[in-house]
Structure 1
Amino acid sequence: MVKGPRTVICVVGARPNYMKAAPIVAALRRSARLAPLLVHTGQHYDPDMNERFFAELGMPAPDSNLEVGSASHAVQTAQVMMRFEPVLDSAPDPIVLVVGDVNSTIACALVAAKKGIPVVHVEAGLRSGDRAMPEEINRVLTDQISDLLFTTEKSAAANLAAEGIAAQRVHFVGNVMIDTLVANLPRAIPPAETLATAGQIPAGRFALSTLHRPANVDDPVVLGRLLDCLAEIGAGLPVVLPLHPRTRARIDAAGLTGRLDGTRILALGPQGYLAMLGLMKAATLVLTDSGGIQEETTALGIPCLTLRDNTERPSTVEFGTNTLVGRDPARILAAARTALATGGKAGRIPEFWDGHAADRIVAVLEDSF
């Protein structure tokens, strides 16, 4: 009896996962030996944003939506585990593929590992060295229970070896985020269109900023200082600031809305992938605390100042256009002035960030399973 393709359950939970999973799902759909089943945990649950991202990335509608929603880390992780187990029970001989480092990643990996189902982790081995970050805990634990670990940069292999993970489980395949960027760059929405829709059009050049890490937005003092920094940069160069809903809520709760008044900070609502890609592509400078944007700016050759003291993506600093500047206002402003005066840090694209990482992943999966 001829068996059909083996099911690979691809898990997404938050918007950064969509860009990582989209090229993998597409590559699996081209395989004769493997077939994707897309599960959305609902960790990010805004319908408009979810539908916009899925449509822009050409992803099929999820085969299953667990509709977990927002909660504390413990409650959210537990809910994902409880709701994911029946999905596994209904799939014959599945493989579970998780991406990134969100709560859904560790939750679904843990359920699969306890049931003896193979676990595949895409974007394995990245480490910030900061255990205060919930994402760091998710990364370390997911890697420990994964059967196959796919890495985006060579430094990840050393991290995994130091944690006792056998080299034969690790495969350096490149960065699936860049697969998505390469595929969609011709479709990026021009900044003028995005900003006109928001009723705000800066003349000529602009900087782009995003803020969402708890260390940056949960403390009103830190958040206020960062907004003041952006306002000072904006005096010379308008700053486009798409606001994560959580960041907007923190600004409002801290009474910091007035810090945006009378400045050249152009505060926008959450943007879709193609709009953000267009803004990044055209920006003179990017200031962010996002891991994904560190990678995307390196691929685009755009100078990036990361508003953190550490990064789990060291290749963006070693090879790319990224500079760690922390949260000190004086350091941020000095780095911004230097970047604007000199054109910013030049870099090169890391190895295998070439748009074909998903094909390499599926080739290994076909060989392994």
Structure 2
Amino acid sequence: MKMAPILRAFAAHQPPMPVVLVHTGQHYDKDMNDRLFEDLALPRPDINLEVGSASHAVQTAEVMRRFEAVLDQHPARAVVVVGDVNSTLACTLVAVKKDVPVAHVEAGLRSYDRRMPEEINRVLTDQVADRLYTTERSALANLQREGIAPERVVFAGNVMIDSLLHNRQHARAVDQTLLAGGAPAESLANFQRFGLVTLHRPSNVDTAAALGHLLGTLRDVAQRLPLVFALHPRTRANIERFGLGSLLDPQRMLLLPPQGYLEMLGLMAQATVVLTDSGGLQEETTALGVPCLTLRENTERPITVEQGTNTLVGSDRASILQGVDEVLAQRGKQGRMPELWDGKAAERIVGDLWQWLQRHETAAAQVKG
């Protein structure tokens, strides 16, 4: 979702900027992977490292090992990394050690929760990247507190919203998504108004106590509003492992397999409220004007709370139910579109990167000369 608009901007740039697309294979489900590339009209990767799943240490190390060979075979003027996954940090470390400039898209976001692996990836990537592209102005203060010079930072806007605005007209119809997910046709009338749920954070789903508490709370929510629950494979496996299936109400909770981008876009746009622990969904619901209740104690995307439709409710049952009740009473957050979430972030990033590379390479040549 982040790379697709960047690739379009590279393709449209004059003069041309040739690109080699490397897919690390960190997210490795073949069906979902193929579907995502098709939904986003992404070109097939030039290189797929096929790393797959493993512990954080093993996965990061394996991406580094395989990506180093790619850089040796394809000398690059710069490496562009996005977001905060293990691949982001791994490819950054390889590039900087080989003296290749790194541009980090979605820089400067901070939850200030070092228990989150993504937070470690964000902090370390930003420390060594050369060009930092931020989605909101507050990110600059985060970076300056960490000693990063402001001249390395460019406020460019949000490429996730580029993708959303580009694809919104292609969002899948909700009824078709529900039927494809196994919903009986006669049950669709019950889901004319619904809440959308996603859960995948380890702190929420990796222990029986945490997951059981949230599922019990969601069961109570479902008595107020039917829920469509797009089940992450990790969450589904843990529900089965911990024997928590009885907490799911089959009459009021419709369980779906992992959804494609266009299906999720359609579900979000039509939902009465979204309950999630996903960072991306916090941004997308703000752009869509849909109330979002984030089942976390913190967020690295504070602008979605300050200006958008997002409310942090944590895992507290009373707070979650109160949030749902406020939405149902039409007192949920309306929010507004944040600055530069206008569908043109990728154009600004590619334009700036071109100019920065020209200056950087000229300066480097003068030093050598």
What TM-score bracket applies, with the shorter chain setting the length? over 0.9
1:232 aligned onto 2:220: yes
Aligned-residue CA RMSD (Å): 0.9
Aligned counterparts of 2:229 and 2:132: Cα–Cα separation in 1: 35
Query: In the alignment, is residue 275 of structure 1 matched against residue 257 of structure 2?
Result: no
Q: Is 1:281–1:302's contact at 8 Å kept on the other side of the alignment?
A: yes
Q: Does 1:40 align with 2:40?
A: no
Displacement of 1:199: 3.0
Query: Structure 1 residue 208 and structure 2 residue 196: aligned?
Result: yes
**Counterpart-to-counterpart distance in 2, 1:132 and 1:49:** 28
1:159 pairs, out of 139, 142, 157, with: 142
Shift of 1:343: 4.4
Equivalent residue, structure 1, for 2:313: 325
Instruction: Tell me if the contact between 2:104 and 2:126 (Cα under 8 Å) persists in the aligned partners.
Output: yes
User: Does the aligned pair in 1 maintain the 2:182–2:256 contact within 8 Å?
Assistant: no
Which position in structure 2 is the counterpart of 1:123?
106
Query: What do residues 1-30 of structure 1 show as CA deviations (whole Å, max 9, x unaligned)?
Result: xxxxxxxxxxxxxxxxxx000000111011
| Range with bigger deviation, 230-239 or 82-91 | 230-239
Q: TM-score, normalised by structure 2?
A: 0.94
For residue 127 of structure 1, give the secondary structure of its aligned residue in structure 2.
coil
Q: Is the 8 A contact 2:9 2:346 kept in 1?
A: yes
Aligned counterpart, 1:95: 78
Task: Tell me the amino acid that sits aligned with residue 272 of structure 1.
Answer: G
Q: Give the Cα–Cα distance (whole angstroms) in 1 for the partners of residues 255 and 356 of structure 2.
A: 48
C-alpha distance after superposition, 1:87-145 (max 9, x if no partner):
00111343100000000000000000111000010000000000000000000000001
Deviation per CA, 1:144-198, whole angstroms, max 9, x where unpaired? 0100000000110000011011111100000000000000000000111101122
- AA partner of residue 64 (structure 1): I
Q: Percent identity?
A: 62
Query: Where does residue 354 of structure 1 map in the other structure?
Result: 342
Q: Quick one: distance in 2 between partners of 1:326 and 1:240? A: 20
Structure 2 residue runs of 5 or longer lacking an equivalent are 358-369
Counterpart in the other structure of 1:22? 4
Distance 2:55 2:43 in 1: 29
- 103, 111, 119: which one aligns with 1:136: 119
- Where does structure 1 differ by over 3 angstroms across 4 or more consecutive aligned residues? none
Secondary structure class of the residue paired with 1:101: coil
Question: Is the contact made by 2:219 and 2:249 (CA closer than 8 Å) also made in structure 1?
Answer: no
For the 8 Å contact 1:33–1:366, the answer to whether it is kept is: no
1:58 aligned counterpart, secondary structure: coil
Instruction: Could you tell me which runs of 5 or more consecutive residues in structure 1 were left unpaired when the two chains were aligned.
Output: 1-18
- The amino acid that maps onto 1:189 is R
Asked if 2 retains the 8 angstrom alpha-carbon contact of 1:100 and 1:139, the reply is yes
Match among 236, 255, 258 for residue 248 of structure 1: 236
Contact 2:133 2:155 in 1 (8 A): yes
* Residues 201-250 of structure 1: CA deviation (Å, up to 9, x unaligned): 23320000100000000111111111111111111211000001111111
Match of 1:183 among 157, 166, 169: 166
The residue that corresponds to 2:366 in the other structure is: none
- Report deviation, 1:262: 4.2
Q: 2:69 aligns to what? A: 86
* Match of residue 340, structure 1, among 307, 328, 338: 328
Alignment length, in residue pairs? Answer: 351
Counterpart among 198, 210, 219 of residue 222 in structure 1: 210
- Residue aligned with 1:149, SS: strand
Deviations 1:235-286, CA, capped at 9 Å, x for gaps = 1211000001111111111111121144411110000000000000000001
Match for 1:49 among 16, 28, 32? 32
Supply the distance in 2 between the matched residues of 1:29 and 1:235 (Cα, whole angstroms).
49
How far 1:359 sits from its partner (Å)?
0.2
